[in-house]
């Protein structure tokens, strides 16, 4: 079994998904309460060192959530904390 944070980290590291796709995955984890922002951000911190996107982008949960918001018309808003 793996955690949502580990899954998001693995998807980021794979380089097969653009930032909007990663953001949609993160939104789904947040919306369904499978993970919180802190957990996802910590998982991305690990991926940042080796991600094909570069450390500063991969390390920012806010960046991938924003990419999903901008790339998805009508996508549900991020849940409030």
| Domain spans in the chain, listed from the N-terminal domain onward | 4-70
Structure confidence by residue, pLDDT tens digits, 17-63: 888 999 999 999 999 999 999 999 988 876 666 555 555 444 488 88
Residue 7 to residue 13: CA distance in whole angstroms? 10
What's the predicted TM-score (pTM) here? Answer: 0.71
pLDDT at 2 over 70: yes
């Amino acid at each position: 079994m793996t955690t949502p944070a580990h899954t998001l980290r693995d998807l980021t590291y794979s380089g097969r998904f653009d930032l909007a796709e990663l953001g949609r995955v993160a939104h789904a984890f947040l919306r369904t309460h499978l993970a919180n922002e802190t957990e996802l951000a910590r998982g991305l911190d690990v991926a940042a060192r080796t991600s094909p996107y570069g450390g500063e982008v991969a390390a920012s949960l806010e960046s991938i959530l924003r990419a999903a918001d901008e790339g998805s018309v009508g996508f549900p808003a991020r849940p409030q904390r």
